[in-house]
C-alpha cells in the first residue's frame, strides 16, 4: 500500500472519530439547553459510551501503525501543508490518548455529566455541599489523569497542555508574574479618580428586545446564521459540530442590559473563529481552534476591543436607544461609553470589567493548582475562594453562587482551562496592534459599521489555519513575538486613562 493510500485510510478513520466526538457535542449542547433535568443519568451514560468509542477508535493499533508508517512520507512534505500538520497533530494527540485507558475516559465522561447537573442545582440553591462530592471526584480523576503523563515538571502541565499545546505551568506563571503588578498599578490609578456612573445599565430591559438587539448586531458584523444559531442557557458557551454548524448561547438578565449583549458578542467571536476555519480541514483533527487562549483572543477581541470601543457605539448606540427609549434617551453616548467600561471589583467573572478580569483568572489558576496539588482540600474550596477574593479584589462573595459555584468549568472537568482566558486577553492585544497597523482605517470602518476587512484579516491570519500550529507559534507568525502582556497593558492604560482622566 503506497503512502497516499495509507494517508487516505488514516483520514477516514480520523473522520469517524471526529463524527463520534461531534455527536457527543450535540448531546452536550442539548444537555445545557433543552434537556429536561430527569434525563441527566441517561445522558451521562450516552456521553460515556460515545466518548469511550471515540477514544477506542482513535487509539486503535490500526491508527498507530498508519501514523508510524507515514512518518517518512510526512518528513518529505512542506511542514506547513495541511497533510504535514494533520500527521503531526494526529501523532501528538495519539501519543497522549494512548496513555489514557478507555475505561478512564468513560468514567470521566459519566462523572462530568452528572457533576454538571449537580452544579446547576447547587448553584441555584447557593449550596456548595451539593456539589462537593462531585467536585471531589472530578479532581481525583484529573489527578489520576495527570499522573499518566509522569514524569513532568509540574502535575498541572498535562492538564494545561490539553488546552494550550506546548505551554508549561512555569510559562503561565512567568507571564502572570509580569502582568499582575501592572494590573494592580492600573487599578490603583483608576481608584484614585472619581467613579463613573453606570446605574442606567441596571434597569428593567425587556428580555426579548435584548435578544433582538444582540441578533441584529451579530448579523451586522457578518455572522452567518445559515451555519449557526443562538439559544439561552445558565452559562453562555459555544460548541461546534462542524465547520458548518456552530452553536452559541447567551444569558439574559432583565435588570442588566450588559450581560446578554456582551455574552452574545463574546460567544459570537468564538463561533466566527470556528466558522472561519478552512473547509479543507473539515472532519479532521485540525478543524478546531489552535488553543483555548487563541479562541479567547477572538471572543474577547469582539466583546471588548470592538464591542466596548467608542467607534462601535458611535454606530450602534442610536439603534440601542431606539430599542430602549425610556431607559436610554436621556443618556448621552459619552455617559453610556463610560458606563459600559466602568471599573469596579465584582463577584462575577463573566461580567467583570477589563481592568479586573485577569485578576479573577489568576485567583482561579492559583486555587486550581493548589487543589490539584492537594494543598487545599475540596471541602475548603469556598473558604479559599473567598479569602482570595478579598486579597485580589477587596470583596467577599455573600454566598457560594457568587463565589466558588459561579463557573461551570469544574463541573465539566475542565481543569487546566482557566489561564486561557487571561492569555486570550493578552493575545487579543497583540493581534489588535498588528491589525491596526495593517488596517489603518479600522476605527473608521467600525464607526461606519463595516466589519468585512476585520473579519477577512482574522480569517487570513488566524481562523483558516484551524489547529495546524501550536498557539505560541501562531502568535509569533502574526505578531513577531510569543504571548506578551505589554500590548494589552498599553491598550488598557490608554483606554482607562482617557475614561478616568489620569
H/E stretch holding 409 reads: helix 409-412
Residue 306, CB-side half-sphere exposure with 13 Å CA sphere: 31
Question: 445 is written with which cell numbers?
Answer: 470602518
β-pair partners for 238: 248
274 is catalytic: no
Which residue, chain included where needed, has cell 478546531? 288
Nearest alpha-carbon partner for 260 in 318, 211, 320, 209: 211
Distance in angstroms (rounded) separating the CA atoms of residues 325 and 335: 15
What whole-number distance in Å separates Cα of residue 228 and Cα of residue 3?
A: 37
At which residue does the C-alpha cell 471588548 appear?
304
Q: What are phi and psi of 198, to 5 degrees?
A: -130, 15
Contact yes or no for 134/115 (Cβ under 8 A): yes
CB atoms within 10 A of CB 251: 16
The DSSP result for 107-140, as a single string, is HHHHHHHHHHHHHHHHHHHT-GGGTHHHHHHHHH
Q: Nine-digit cell at 396?
A: 467577599
- Which of 12, 68, 164, 267 is the catalytic position? 267
Say how many C-beta atoms besides its own lie within 10 A of residue 344's C-beta: 15
All three cell numbers of 310: 467608542
- Give the three cell numbers for residue 305: 476591543
Ranges of beta strands (E only) in 166-314 are 228-232, 238-242, 245-250
DSSP H or E segment with residue 245: strand 245-250
CA end-to-end distance (rounded Å), the chain? 70
Q: Kindly report the CA angle at 96 between 92 and 99, in degrees rounded to 5?
A: 145
Looking at the annotation, which residues are catalytic?
A: 267
Amino acid at each position: 500500500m503506497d503512502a497516499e493510500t495509507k494517508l487516505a485510510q488514516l483520514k477516514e478513520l480520523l473522520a469517524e472519530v471526529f463524527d463520534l466526538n461531534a455527536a457527543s457535542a450535540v448531546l452536550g449542547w442539548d444537555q445545557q439547553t433543552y434537556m429536561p433535568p430527569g434525563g441527566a443519568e441517561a445522558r451521562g451514560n450516552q456521553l460515556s459510551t460515545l466518548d469511550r468509542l471515540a477514544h477506542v477508535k482513535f487509539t486503535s493499533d490500526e491508527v498507530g501503525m498508519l501514523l508510524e508508517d507515514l512518518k517518512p512520507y510526512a518528513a518529505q512534505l512542506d511542514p506547513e501543508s495541511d497533510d504535514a500538520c494533520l500527521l503531526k497533530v494526529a501523532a501528538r494527540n495519539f501519543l497522549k490518548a494512548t496513555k489514557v485507558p478507555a475505561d478512564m475516559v468513560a468514567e470521566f465522561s459519566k462523572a462530568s455529566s452528572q457533576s454538571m447537573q449537580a452544579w446547576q442545582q447547587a448553584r441555584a440553591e447557593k449550596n456548595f455541599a451539593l456539589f462537593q462530592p462531585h467536585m471531589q471526584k472530578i479532581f481525583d480523576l484529573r489527578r489520576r489523569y495527570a499522573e499518566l503523563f509522569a514524569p513532568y515538571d509540574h502535575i498541572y502541565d498535562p492538564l494545561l497542555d490539553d488546552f494550550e499545546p506546548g505551554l508549561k505551568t512555569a510559562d503561565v506563571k512567568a507571564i502572570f508574574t509580569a502582568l499582575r503588578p501592572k494590573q494592580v498599578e492600573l487599578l490603583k490609578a483608576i481608584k484614585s479618580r472619581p467613579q463613573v456612573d453606570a446605574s442606567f445599565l441596571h434597569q428593567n430591559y425587556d428580555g426579548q428586545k435584548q435578544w433582538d438587539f444582540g441578533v441584529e448586531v451579530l448579523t451586522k458584523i457578518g455572522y452567518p446564521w445559515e451555519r449557526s444559531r443562538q439559544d439561552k442557557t445558565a452559562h453562555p458557551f459555544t460548541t461546534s459540530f462542524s465547520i458548518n454548524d456552530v452553536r452559541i448561547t447567551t444569558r439574559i438578565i432583565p435588570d442588566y442590559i450588559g450581560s446578554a449583549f456582551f455574552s452574545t458578542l463574546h460567544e459570537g467571536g468564538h463561533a466566527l473563529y470556528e466558522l472561519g476555519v478552512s473547509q479543507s480541514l473539515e472532519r479532521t483533527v485540525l478543524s478546531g481552534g489552535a488553543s483555548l487562549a487563541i479562541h479567547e483572543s477572538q471572543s474577547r477581541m469582539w466583546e471588548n476591543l470592538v464591542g466596548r470601543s467608542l467607534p462601535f457605539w458611535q454606530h450602534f448606540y442610536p439603534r440601542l436607544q431606539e430599542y430602549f427609549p425610556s431607559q436610554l434617551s436621556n443618556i448621552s453616548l459619552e455617559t453610556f461609553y463610560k458606563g459600559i467600561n466602568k471599573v469596579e471589583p465584582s463577584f462575577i467573572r463573566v461580567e467583570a470589567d477589563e481592568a479586573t478580569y485577569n485578576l479573577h483568572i489568576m485567583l482561579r489558576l492559583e486555587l486550581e493548582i493548589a487543589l490539584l496539588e492537594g494543598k487545599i482540600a475540596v471541602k475548603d474550596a469556598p473558604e479559599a475562594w473567598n479569602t482570595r477574593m478579598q486579597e485580589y479584589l477587596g470583596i467577599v462573595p455573600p454566598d457560594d453562587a457568587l463565589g466558588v459555584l459561579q463557573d461551570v468549568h469544574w463541573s465539566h472537568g475542565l481543569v487546566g482551562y482557566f489561564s486561557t482566558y487571561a492569555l486570550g486577553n493578552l493575545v487579543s492585544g497583540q493581534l489588535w496592534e498588528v491589525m491596526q497597523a495593517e488596517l489603518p482605517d479600522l476605527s473608521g470602518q467600525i464607526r461606519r459599521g463595516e466589519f468585512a476587512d476585520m473579519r477577512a484579516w482574522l480569517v487570513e491570519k488566524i481562523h483558516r489555519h484551524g489547529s495546524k500550529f501550536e498557539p505560541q507559534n501562531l502568535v509569533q507568525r502574526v505578531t513577531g513575538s510569543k504571548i506578551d502582556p505589554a500590548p494589552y497593558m498599553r491598550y488598557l492604560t490608554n483606554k482607562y486613562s482617557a475614561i478616568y482622566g489620569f
